[in-house]
Amino acid sequence: MIDTQLVLKYCDVRISVQALMDAVPAGVDQPSVASELWHALTALASTEAQIAQLVPTLRDALSDVEKVLAAGPDDRIPVVDSTGALQARGPRLDALIGRRAAQVEHLRAMTRLWVTQHPDQATTTPAPR
C-alpha cells in the first residue's frame, strides 16, 4: 500500500489513496498520470527507507569517534574503524540523497499534472510558515 503523505509533505497537496488507486488503469500498458504518480511515490518511499536504514550506521560510527575524543584515561575506548567509517558509507548516502532530490522534483511535476487533470480530487494545503 502506498502512502500519499509524501505528496502532502513535499507538494502541499492532499490526495486520497483511494482516488489515486481508482485512477490507475488496470491492465493497461500505457502510462497515465495516476500510474506515474504512483510509481514516483513508490520510488521515493523506497529511497527514503534506504536512507533511514543507513543513517543509524553513520550515527553510530560518529558516536564512537565522539566517545574516543571525550574518553578519560580510565574510560574504555571503543574501537573506531580506521579504514574510513564515513568513506565507506558516505558515498552511498550522498547518492541516495541525490536520488531523493530528483525523485522529489519528479513527484512535484507529477502532482502538478494530477491537480490539473483531477482538480476535484486534490486539495492544496498551504505550507506552514
Domain spans in the chain, listed from the N-terminal domain onward: 4-124
Is the confidence at residue 121, as pLDDT, over 80? no
Residue whose cell numbers read 494530477:
114
Is the confidence at residue 83, as pLDDT, over 90? no
Distance separating alpha carbons of residues 4 and 109, to the nearest angstrom? 15
Distance separating alpha carbons of residues 55 and 69, to the nearest angstrom? 21
Predicted confidence (pLDDT) per residue in 19-65, tens digit: 998 888 887 788 899 999 999 999 999 999 999 999 998 898 888 88
pLDDT level of residue 129 (50, 70, 90 thresholds): very low
pLDDT level of residue 12 (50, 70, 90 thresholds): very high
Distances (CA, A) of 110 to 3, 16, 61, 75, 98: 15, 15, 38, 55, 19
Can you give the pTM of this predicted structure?
A: 0.82
Side chain identity at residue 61, one-letter code: A
Provide, rounded to the nearest whole percent, the portion of the chain with pLDDT above 90: 50
Is the confidence at residue 82, as pLDDT, over 90? no
Predicted confidence (pLDDT) per residue in 98-112, tens digit: 999 999 999 999 999
**Cell numbers at residue 61, please?**
560510527
pLDDT, mean of residues 3-18: 92
Of 5, 10, 7, nearest to 37 (Cα)? 7
Backbone angles phi, psi at 125, to 5 degrees: -115, 120
